[in-house]
Amino acid sequence: MLVQAGLTEHLAQAAAVIRWLGDAEPPPLGYPPQGELQVGVDLGTAYLTVIVADSWGMPLAGEYQYAEVARDGLVVDFVGAVDRLKACKARLERRLGRDLEHAHSGYPPGVGPAEVRTTANVLEAAGFRCSGLTDEPTAANAVLQLHRGAVVDVGGGTTGIAVVQDGRVVYTADEATGGTHFSLVIAGALDIDYERAESLKTDPARQPELMSTVRPVMEKVASIVTRHISAFDVPSITLVGGSSAFLGMATVVEEYTGIPTQVPDHPAFITPLGMALKDAPSA
């Protein structure tokens, strides 16, 4: 578990040590880390992210890459997912000088047990022992440590919601609409391919000119959140997931819901880090 005072430090460290696959591979650490390691594996609709943390939850290494191996919590390319994860595991083991034996992963709320089990099978086929699976917004709150409020994970294909009361998640849900929909509307509006639209979406310098194009998708996310939290007293909303970093996202959600809304630093790494914090070697 992270204490709130250390949240910024942990997320800054995650951003510093997690490598985009296309970047140069960093050299091995000067010495292997000691103690138990915790591993989080996020098989997202658009990205595969792996984070390795120490026993205090401080990120030590990680990697993320574009990978269309899952869709809305359903693994659609089992062999591709296993191959990518196995290669990522090997690279991180070289970097750390340690074997990675177990890992924790997650799923969008509402995904059926068969689909959840397939995610565990991917981890095991890649050489991990799966220590458990947690719904994504609940994993995010392992990092955020909200006492009361809503965690909204804007993933690649879905928006997941967790309502937290007295430090416990009391309600979860998710619906289709996420980062891929941002990219699709950009591609349609500009008559460009999806890959180019994805690149524009994640470029902060281009986001102001795209705001009017993606605002309807932001409002759709806000409408999903409003519907699912309406029965609860929610004093604040915290957005996580890579698409929540898009310029103006928190403002649109706050205007639509009337509830104070924030986006922590480096929101794309919050859910996979939460999965790592859930990784228990004895599970």
The answer to whether residue 126 scores a pLDDT higher than 50 is yes
Check residue 3 and give its pLDDT: 47
**Is 21 in a helix, a strand, or coil?**
coil
Check residue 173 and give its pLDDT: 93
Check residue 115 and give its pLDDT: 85
The answer to whether residue 4 scores a pLDDT higher than 70 is no
The answer to whether residue 222 scores a pLDDT higher than 90 is yes
The answer to whether residue 112 scores a pLDDT higher than 90 is no
Q: Domains of the chain: which residue ranges? A: 4-135
User: pTM for the complete prediction?
Assistant: 0.93
Quote the CA–CA distance of 22 and 197 in Å, as a whole number.
18
Pick the CATH number of 4-135 from 3.50.50.60, 3.30.420.40, 3.30.70.2700, 3.40.1160.10: 3.30.420.40
**Is 94 in a helix, a strand, or coil?**
helix
Check residue 283 and give its pLDDT: 60
Quote the CA–CA distance of 241 and 68 in Å, as a whole number.
16
Quote the CA–CA distance of 131 and 120 in Å, as a whole number.
9
Lowest mean pLDDT among 66-75, 205-214, 248-257: 66-75
